[in-house]
Amino acid sequence: MKLYLVSQSENDNYDTFSSFVVCCETEEEARNTHPGWGEDPWKDDFSHSTWCKLPSAAEVEYIGEAAEDLEKGIVCASFHAG
């Protein structure tokens, strides 16, 4: 698996995520990952206020290969609490 840095500048208020690192297979999978909460954070109004509204607004940068024992998912995230 690979590591990607995913960031957004659409929401830069307090109580928002600015970026996260995710372990996954592809850039598309990284772009479609949402750091928010809930069963389907892309459809949840609260999560839209914490991240960009659409996956296409996220910027994705490949940062390297993941360790073999690292599980798929978000490794760390930058959240700006208010």
Alpha helix ranges (H) inside the chain: 27-31, 45-48
- Return the domain boundaries, the chain: 2-80
Whether residue 5 contacts residue 77, with contact meaning beta carbons closer than 8 Å, is answered with no
Token pair listed for 2 = 């690979």
Res 2 pLDDT > 80: yes
> How far is residue 2 from each of residues 29, 39, 61, 74, 78, measured CA to CA in Å?
11, 25, 11, 12, 19
* pLDDT (tens digit per residue) in 5-38: 999 999 888 889 999 999 999 999 999 999 987 7
